Structure 1
Amino acid sequence: MKRAKITIVGAGNVGATTAHWCAAAELGDIVLLDIPEAGDMPRGKALDLMQASPIFGFDSKVTGTNDYADSKCSDVVVITAGIPRKPGMSRDDLLATNAKIMTAVCEQVKRTSPDAIVIVVSNPLDAMVQQAQKVTGFPPARVIGQAGVLDTARYRTFLAMELGVSVEDVSALLMGGHGDTMVPMPSCTSVGGIPVTSLVKPERLAEIVDRTAKGGAEIVSLLKTGSAYYAPAAATAQMVEAIVRDKKRLIPCAAYCDKQYGVGGYYVGVPVVLGSGGVEKIIELELTDTERAAFTKSVDAVKELVATMAKLV
């Protein structure tokens, strides 16, 4: 049985670290691809990673390239390409430039890997994944946005820090757009099976949710010269694993909603079953009135973002 072929477009911090996690977990052979202007950088990172293989004992082959021909017939394509956020820059500020980059990348992906499942990581996420599906023309189930896994991981981290417990015992769910309008789901959040509302006071929980929503901006402000990459890459690798190993993971992703949750024709963060077919099912939950109102507000923000992108591209 041949290994899965995983192409990562964008060999910056997020892309290269995603390659690192995927290789260490032996999820498949990896192609690390970047634009010609990047020169030999992707080859250098790929070679460096390959030289770690005897130490960590993985046999995944890692190839660095500037040529989409090397990505031909990929099973999974991860798109991290785009300009990074800088201090004081919102995700929306990235919209025009990254939409053009996404268009160029997806035209190549459509040509070289027509049967691939695409995971979009580039920001602003909800608009970028919408653009990726439009350009590739792939079935919506095969074009997915990575946001929910990262946002939930941040939420779980902060809850574990607050309660002084293992992150493994914190189970949580966030829905909606990736950013300030994300929707926490207290009814789906527990610690060792105990509802989080029994352990954390409402006002403190609201503060933790707010920190989660601004989690990326907090790291940008601390790094000064870049944005988060360890956690985004780990979240992406978890999605890749769910696909190439057909894990049927129930995790939140930016998925195309066609009437689910009353949303028609937009990508938004919802719980899905992720497996070898991509998004194999969207799980519809009964939302409280408060959750429904917050979700509607988040979806409206996504619609506005997509409409703005349509005018710019």
Structure 2
Amino acid sequence: MKVTVVGAGAVGATVADNIARKELCKELVLLDIKEGVSEGKALDMTQTAAILGFDTKIIGSTNDYSKTAGSDVVVITSGLPRKPGMTREELIGVNANIVRGVAENILKHSPDAILIIISNPMDTMTYLALQATGLPKNRIIGMGGALDSARFKCYLSQALNCSPADLNAIVIGGHGDTTMIPLIRYATWNSVPVTNFLSEEQQKQIIADTMVGGATLTKLIGTSAWYAPGAAGAAMVEAIVRDEKKLIACSVALEGEYGQNDICMGVPVILGKNGWEKVIDYKLNADEQALFSKSADAVRNMNDVLKTLA
């Protein structure tokens, strides 16, 4: 297996670091437009191999897409990160051109690659990549639900004073502060519904904290988070390259699922060697379905901005 990460900023470098440590591929390419950044970070990671005991070959490259040739999976993190007070939606004008160009250049050298999109606004960038490349829908996957679900489990574990590893919980909908939907009705602690242990007030607080999880970190750090997004992206790569058939919330093209068409949004999917292989129907109740439809409307409004771009 060969994996490429485009964008050697904090998120991209963290994705690459996790991939290397887990030995998810024999060859890992880290590519960036800034001279020396990807080469330096690749060398830095390589120097940890003797300490951490991995054998992944890491190659850094400044905008030389020929180095990415033959990649099986490509993670796209390129674009501007959020700043305090900035929404993911505000990034669309700049990042759309970046993501389109990256996807086109990648496919010139790796026509069979599966693309994982992390660049924000993620659902819209995933939709853009699908429209711009014409790839089969199973090979375009947006990372958002995996991250939001991890944050959901984090807040649940704190409220329950339990290990996050003992929790199953998922977030669907758009990857935005007002569009994501933490499905607390489906969240379990070792197969027991968490609602058995949490008051209604606690549940509401956990949902609220999850929805602003990214914005909270942006306010604290001064830019977008990277440790959890990087780990989430690497977890998706792992599910694909190891053909794990793992259920992860991802932004994918919907064709009637959850009542939506012509849109990419976060839903539970099975990830394996072919990319996303099928959508899992969680049988939403009326309130949850209404939230999902409202989220879809918001994502479509962002997608409409693409029509105004040159």
* Partner deviation per Cα, 1:204-243 (whole Å, 9 max, x = no partner): 212211111111110111012x210000000000000000
- Name the counterpart of 2:36: 40
- Name the counterpart of 1:174: 171
- Name the counterpart of 1:60: 56
* Range with bigger deviation, 208-217 or 60-69: 208-217
CA RMSD of aligned residues (A): 0.9
- Name the counterpart of 1:272: 269
Contact residue 256 and residue 265 of structure 1 kept, 8 A:
yes
Give 1:206's aligned amino acid: K
Distance across 2 between alignment mates of 1:212 and 1:312: 32
Query: Secondary structure at 1:109's aligned position in 2?
Result: helix
- Name the counterpart of 1:103: 100
Structure 1, unaligned runs of 5 or more: none
- Name the counterpart of 1:257: 254
CA drift of 1:186 comes to: 2.2
Structure 2, unaligned runs of 5 or more: none
Tell me the percent identity: 46
* Partner deviation per Cα, 1:97-129 (whole Å, 9 max, x = no partner): 001111111110121111000000000000000
TM-score w.r.t. the length of structure 2 is 0.97
CA drift of 1:152 comes to: 0.3
1:230-241 alignment runs, 5 A limit: 230-241=227-238
Query: In the comparison of the two structures, how many residue pairs are matched?
Result: 307
Give 1:234's aligned amino acid: A
Query: Secondary structure at 2:56's aligned position in 1?
Result: coil
Among 79, 92, 106, the alignment partner of 2:89 is 92
Distance across 1 between alignment mates of 2:241 and 2:88: 30
Distance across 2 between alignment mates of 1:173 and 1:146: 13
Among 174, 187, 190, the alignment partner of 2:188 is 190
- Name the counterpart of 2:197: 199
Contact residue 129 and residue 140 of structure 2 kept, 8 A:
yes
TM-score w.r.t. the length of structure 1 is 0.96
- For the pair 1:307 / 2:304, whether they are aligned, the reply is yes
Distance across 2 between alignment mates of 1:222 and 1:245: 36
- Name the counterpart of 1:49: 45
- For the pair 1:134 / 2:97, whether they are aligned, the reply is no
- Name the counterpart of 1:291: 288
1:70-85 alignment runs, 5 A limit: 70-85=67-82
Contact residue 149 and residue 182 of structure 2 kept, 8 A:
no
Give 1:307's aligned amino acid: D
- For the pair 1:209 / 2:207, whether they are aligned, the reply is yes
